Structure 1
Amino acid sequence: MADVNNVSGSSPLGQYDIGNKKDTNSKNEELGRNEFLELMITQLQNQNPLDPQDNAEFVAQLAQFSTVEGIENMSSSLEDMSASFTSSQALQATALVGGSVTVNGQDTSILQHGDLVYGLIEMPSGATNTTLRIKNAEGETVEDVNLGTLPSGAVTFKWDGANMEVNGVLVDIDYDKFETDEDGNIIPHDQGEYSFDVYASVGGVQEAIEINLSSRVDSVTLGSAGEIQLNLPGGNVITMDDVLQINSAY
């Protein structure tokens, strides 16, 4: 005999399943604004003329009605404001498409000739002998840039594949190791993905320092929860909370 609990498909007894029944007798028990007014007017019309409703009680009912209506109107207004704010954010975020943002915790970036890689380093107090190490996609070190002693806090830099600018000041680079074109211009490192690491001496001990790198914004979408999402190369998706800095457009 087949186990009725394991029979697939629609059951002939399904129509009698309590879970499938709809409460045809259910009514909206919520007292709306019109119903409240009708009830109050009926109460006034049918009150005992020899024992009329107390004024204080009547005023209390009106105050209750006013409060409920005010809360409903405020809720509706807040929903409209929230929708308008989200739309405004999305419109502003579209201006980032094709531009560059520095992303919290991102330690890789893509170098394209004619563009810049932006970075932000969180330097601890008392750090000295700072070195910025740049590796290509194969993990080979292509640059060890000596940055010396940097101020504590956020330190920003830009890199074009050859030249580096830290806090607005060009860093001394050994340009002799770069090839040049027929006009004598330096040929930067190959295009592609690069990873960046920062090391510094803190209290006599070498430590890895937090770094955050830039990425291009390919597109902007609105998430299921209403949040603004930035779509980056490689399928990476971040929110505006992940953006530490908005950089110059590519």
Structure 2
Amino acid sequence: MSTSSVITGNPFLDALRLPTDSVVPEENNQALTQEDFLALLTQELSMQDPFKPVENDQMVQQLTAFSTADGISNLNDEIVNLNAIMTSSQALEASSLVGQKVLIPSDTGYISVEDPILKSVVSTPEAINEITVRVEDDSGALIASYIVDGSAGGNIDLSWDGLDANGEAVAAGSYAIKASGKVNGESQELPVSTYAHVTSVSLGTSETGAILNLRGLGGIQMADVLAVSES
């Protein structure tokens, strides 16, 4: 039996009784709804000075202002819902890239047992007879070098077999592909992009979009992918 339900007849003891139910105040919503606005407008009209009534244009301005504010609030809700739908849709689209390779704007690729060959693309501003390709490890040490034909100009496909200068397979890890050639008679470093294996996809946010998780390289935004390859 609850002690709060017993009345002793002693005013002092009865005053010490604990309440049976805790009173939880209702949530106070400070937002002004359309019904609240119309009630306030009706109250304003009923209390106005009959000799100085509210002008029609003032009433129209008040109604227009409230309608605009209410419309913006509804629009914000719709945008939030649209962002959520777009994020989910983009993640679903990106999931189709799992298991494939994507070309990323970085000269660093990853060699592993699963991917012993590193493919990349060097971009040239013009036709170059010989392009010198250098492979460096994460400390900047030269691992291998070779010459490719760049006479076609544009984007030249590169492929490194994962072997060092002695013909031995390198350890798994990140390696940078550097390329240089003569442009207008002067030696110049050329931009290189590499292919990376997509292992999984993260949802990300509405700002970043879907994130592609690359083997050994971390994540990259889907919008930064330059090309997609099956192998």
Q: Is 1:240 the counterpart of 2:200 in the alignment?
A: no
Q: Is 1:59 the counterpart of 2:41 in the alignment?
A: no
What residue in structure 2 maps to residue 230 of structure 1? Answer: 212
What residue in structure 2 maps to residue 161 of structure 1? Answer: 161
Q: CA deviation at 1:45?
A: 2.8
- Between stretches 82-91 and 119-128, larger displacement belongs to 119-128
Identify if the C-alpha distance between structure 1 residues 160 and 197 changes in structure 2 by more than 3 Å, giving closer, same or farther.
Answer: closer
Unaligned runs of 5+ in 2: 1-27
What residue in structure 1 maps to residue 143 of structure 2? Answer: 140
- Looking at structure 2, the residues matched to 126 and 44 of structure 1 have their Cα atoms a distance apart, in angstroms, of 81
In the TM superposition, 1:24-35 aligns within 5 A as: 31-35=32-36
What residue in structure 1 maps to residue 3 of structure 2? Answer: none
TM-score when scaled to structure 1? 0.64
In the TM superposition, 1:170-181 aligns within 5 A as: none
What residue in structure 2 maps to residue 172 of structure 1? Answer: none
Deviation per residue, 1:156-204 (Å, 9 max, x gap): 4264839xxxxxxxxxxxxxxx9xxxxxxxxxx7895554221211222
Q: Is the 8 A contact 1:126 1:203 kept in 2?
A: no
- Looking at structure 1, the residues matched to 147 and 116 of structure 2 have their Cα atoms a distance apart, in angstroms, of 20
Deviation per residue, 1:195-219 (Å, 9 max, x gap): 4221211222222211111110111
Unaligned runs of 5+ in 1: 1-26, 163-177, 179-188
What residue in structure 1 maps to residue 101 of structure 2? Answer: 100
Q: CA deviation at 1:234?
A: 2.3
Give the % identical residues.
Answer: 27
- Looking at structure 1, the residues matched to 127 and 95 of structure 2 have their Cα atoms a distance apart, in angstroms, of 40
- Looking at structure 1, the residues matched to 33 and 132 of structure 2 have their Cα atoms a distance apart, in angstroms, of 69
Which secondary structure state, in structure 1, belongs to the residue aligned with residue 226 of structure 2?
strand
Q: CA deviation at 1:69?
A: 1.2
Identify if the C-alpha distance between structure 1 residues 75 and 156 changes in structure 2 by more than 3 Å, giving closer, same or farther.
Answer: farther
- Looking at structure 1, the residues matched to 51 and 223 of structure 2 have their Cα atoms a distance apart, in angstroms, of 67
- Looking at structure 2, the residues matched to 92 and 39 of structure 1 have their Cα atoms a distance apart, in angstroms, of 50
Q: Is 1:210 the counterpart of 2:211 in the alignment?
A: no
Deviation per residue, 1:84-135 (Å, 9 max, x gap): 1111111111111111111112332436678864422221246442233456
What residue in structure 2 maps to residue 19 of structure 1? Answer: none
State the AA in 2 paired with 1:69.
D
- Between stretches 65-74 and 110-119, larger displacement belongs to 110-119
Q: Is the 8 A contact 1:130 1:149 kept in 2?
A: no
Identify if the C-alpha distance between structure 1 residues 215 and 93 changes in structure 2 by more than 3 Å, giving closer, same or farther.
Answer: same
- Looking at structure 2, the residues matched to 136 and 203 of structure 1 have their Cα atoms a distance apart, in angstroms, of 30
- Looking at structure 1, the residues matched to 84 and 64 of structure 2 have their Cα atoms a distance apart, in angstroms, of 30
Q: CA deviation at 1:60?
A: 1.4
In the TM superposition, 1:180-199 aligns within 5 A as: 195-199=176-180
Q: Is the 8 A contact 2:84 2:206 kept in 1?
A: no
Query: Whose Rg is larger?
Result: 2
What residue in structure 2 maps to residue 11 of structure 1? Answer: none
Deviation per residue, 1:16-67 (Å, 9 max, x gap): xxxxxxxxxxx86654433212101212233344543221111111111111
Which secondary structure state, in structure 2, belongs to the residue aligned with residue 44 of structure 1?
helix
Q: Is the 8 A contact 1:103 1:243 kept in 2?
A: yes
What residue in structure 2 maps to residue 219 of structure 1? Answer: 200
Which secondary structure state, in structure 2, belongs to the residue aligned with residue 87 of structure 1?
helix
TM-score when scaled to structure 2? 0.69
Which secondary structure state, in structure 1, belongs to the residue aligned with residue 216 of structure 2?
helix
Q: Is the 8 A contact 1:110 1:215 kept in 2?
A: no
Identify if the C-alpha distance between structure 1 residues 219 and 113 changes in structure 2 by more than 3 Å, giving closer, same or farther.
Answer: closer
What residue in structure 2 maps to residue 182 of structure 1? Answer: none
Q: Is the 8 A contact 1:104 1:212 kept in 2?
A: yes
Identify if the C-alpha distance between structure 1 residues 217 and 148 changes in structure 2 by more than 3 Å, giving closer, same or farther.
Answer: closer
- Looking at structure 1, the residues matched to 150 and 217 of structure 2 have their Cα atoms a distance apart, in angstroms, of 36
- Looking at structure 2, the residues matched to 113 and 234 of structure 1 have their Cα atoms a distance apart, in angstroms, of 11
Q: How many residues align?
A: 197
